[in-house]
Structure 1
Amino acid sequence: MPPPKNLRELRGLQGRLAYIRRFISNLSGRCQPFSRLMRKDVPFVWDQACQNALESIKQYLLNPPVLMAPIKGKPLILYIAALERSLGALLAQHNDDGKENALYYLSRTLVGAEQNYTPIERVCLALVFVVQKLRHYILSHRVILISKADPLRYLMSKPVLSGRIAKWSLLLSEFEIKFVPQKAIKGQALADFLAAHPTPDNMELPADLPDEEVFAIEALTWQLYFDGAARRNGAGAGLVFITPSGGLIPYSFSLLALCSNNVAEYEALIIGLEIALEMHIDCLQAYGDSQLVVRQLNGQYAVRNATLVPYHERAKYLMSQFQDIHVSHIPRSENDKADALANLAASLTLPSERDIQVTVGERYLLPPAIERIEEVVDSNVITSSECEEEPDDLDWRHPIIEYLLLGKLPNDSRKKAEVRRRATRFLYLNDTLYKRSFDGVLLRCLSKQDATKTLRDTHAGTCGAHQAGPKLSNQLKRLGYYWPTMVRDSIKFATTCKDCQLHGDFIHQPPQQLHPTTLPWPFEAWGLDVIGMIKPKSSRQHQYILAATDYFSKWAEAIPLKEVRADDVTNFIRNHIIYRYGVPSKIISDNALYFKCKSMTKLCESISFNTRSPRVTIRRQMVKLKLSIKTTIRNSTGCTPYNLVFGSEPVLPLEVQLPSLRVALQLTNPDENANVRLAELEALDEKRLAAQQRLEIYQAQMAGAFNKKVNFRSFSIGDLVLTVRRPFVITRKMHGKFEPKWEGPYVITKVFSKGAYELSNSEGKCIYPCVNGKFVKKFYA
């Protein structure tokens, strides 16, 4: 290679050397004599120093150090150094013989404000420079960092992260890097040498690497063995993951519903695919011993069983989320581990427990005379599919503290990445873990036991205000506390607080749809109720009104009473309803004692009609308004009650004083009046049928408007509930401001139709025989 004769040829030489700079150690130092010829207004003079530099580069290229490709599964060694004007790095790796091979050389000059950085900030900048340039290497390997100072601990121990420090911390959280203090290592000397001879500022090197595509990240393939087991008393699913490095991860799930063996096989595969997606596995090879499931997924068999169609579609959807996935069939003998886990889970199905811990041990077969030795070598957890929480004895703070202090990460790949990402928001100071909030405040991290005590004191302690769940979590943040499930625990604690439930607001949404009472003919059913007490009393000391209303025609009967006695109610039903309009099919009343007396029971048995006792709305009508009620057109029927009962309208007192047209006709032509009356009686049935149809339409409209506000609430026998304190009035306050609105808890012992319940106390004694569901709410123990 001849020496360059002018500036143009020198620039061409510089460009060719820059293209292969990753293979040349200390390229910037070797090209130092060329830099003065690149300056402006400097004559091109090729002297002996330039010729020696060219010869040095030629000699180096004749015997260059061989850069090796990274070996999959082995950690990388990163040496970094930062001087006042430059940064340098070397990426290396041990081969199978234990010899350290160089993989990549990096160096650059500090420019601008970077020269004013502190020494530890320059080390952090060197590390950030390396991970940005060699991300395709570092992302797929574990990296051992060797340097004079620990940049990772510096970033994690800063009380407040802002500006470039926060950006660097967020960038490095993506990689698995472990710091090792600097020792007498040959690679460190190379890094220092590169940093001492940086690339000149006037030498522009291309940013893209020619071999980046060659050294692309290769996706690692995991293996999944799945199997399902279905038994008469339960079903289970067993999974075994094999990592690329040969590690084994077992899972076993108890299925909460009985199913066929094919459904269990599909469930096992679906659970395995969901776990693989959560672990961010891109390439998966699945093995199962069910020919039907495997061949249906591979398209060799059609899915003819309608039960398996949703499982097949779900499995195909999950398989589409992977970059590369294959499902293959293997004999049952090769799937023994997954089969054993599935049968174990199916045998240990216990609905009352969330999880069961099973210890798998290894022991010797020894004669009785020899002391037995037992060593536990492995343990697996049989977990039902509803298990979501970690064991109580595991403190969530320990992995983060170990990573911040020792750089230690969990063995699980998912937890490893999670700890690295989360650790950037935490600070370990004075033997206490703190979390940095977004507003810069340090929140003290609490254990599960301390969190429970803090919740109790904050919610119901000396200064507790019984806040709702979201407000409680915000209050804890303002006090300076934190744990991962703070919002969820706050909502649960506030929900289960007994005082909060007893003083909770009334529920105004109806729990059930409206159930209109539809009857085919007048006087089939009567509604009976007592109005009062009325203050002041009448001139004859009457203070109650006993009223009855026909559900079809809205015909009303009423009498005044001084006191409400059982005999008065029985005589009223006999004289004003039965003797006048016949025996009704039912009489509907509330739960008052005078409606459930012995005389009422005898009357019902003698005449053979039923009484019902739901809660009805009290109609505050006076006895003097009976005639106006009977002669007023009802919206539900379109007629007056008098017209539906007698076929014609009554003659009102006003019509006698000031004769109306029909009264005048009656007086002038009595015979024609008799014919008109007969015609009205003939048309009475038709009029009643039309009123019935109109009533059904009206009830349907009313039910539609009512059902829009329904918030369905239903309870079962054995549920704990609270009920509104007596009297059952939820539209206005009936007690003192600070008295509870609810009482209980009670146990539901009987469920009636249409949302009524019987409530008993904890001893089994019936307290309320029949309570409407709108006065009941669930009690959280």
Structure 2
Amino acid sequence: MREINKKLNPKKCTFGIKKGTFLGCKVNTEEIIVCPDKVGVVLNLPSPRCLKDVQKLNGKLASLNRFLSKSAKKSLSFFKTLKKYTKKSDFQWTAKVEAAFKEMIKLIAELPTLTAPMEKEKLIVYVEAAREAVSAVLMMEKEAKQMLVYFVSCALYGSETNYTLMEKPRTSVKGQILADFIVERPEGDSLNTPMEAEEELSNPWTLFTDGSSCIDSSGAGLILTNPKGAEFTYALRFRFDATNNDAKYEALIVGLIIAEQMGVKYLQANVDSRLVANQEKSVNEAEVFAVVEEKEDTWMDPLYNYLTKETLPAEKEKARVV
């Protein structure tokens, strides 16, 4: 610290302790326990009487998610209530939602103790996929017993519910659990990439995708370019209702499928949404999309010009659409 001329505030730093409170949890060298104050606030909550009460409840449950098994699945009734009634006068707290609320209170009263994993310890992941939610738990073995490390749960919306049970867990587990505990490259490991592979990776195929939706239709465009500069252009018309993000998902998925069918081994994907770029999903091609290869001018030409040359149409209305 002295070498880089940095100082610490003694009032905000504590050294040499084995236990303490951190980010709303009581932490020691072996265990992580939720603070009783946070649990007490939820246990003393009355049944919600308005939308604002439901919003407060969802916020408090979110802070306890890591201790709750299948939290998204058990909270679906609250989220649906919040989504369905957008006006105060429309709010209804049904008997079914009340039963789910009481069940959630019972679970919070008996929250488990989590274990802090040590470096290089083997971790076990259990995943469960339902129609509207994906849940997972990270565990470790200690003295022939399986100890809880972390719970994670993700609700599925829109087109996400159409994926098979085998496909649904793929993105949820990777992004939310393992990133918290597993280092990208373990200490001592090294990547020995042959020179031939490095040369091939330097000249990958390139994929540009973009998608959009409107009231009555949705579609996307993609451009696949080989290392020699030859371009393969496709226009997609979707046979289902999709948001802009859904269209971007499907455009990337179709591009990957086409690249695989063409025997492409190394591909650099360029999308205009980081949400899409950090996800991986597969799709049933026959059910949800149709691919039409266009040889003449198409609606996706402005997208192509924007993605490759960063140019917009001269007309303001068309430029706004792009």
Same fold flag (TM > 0.5): no
Higher relative contact order (CA 8 A, sep 6+): 2
Give me the TM-score of the superposition, normalised by structure 2.
0.40
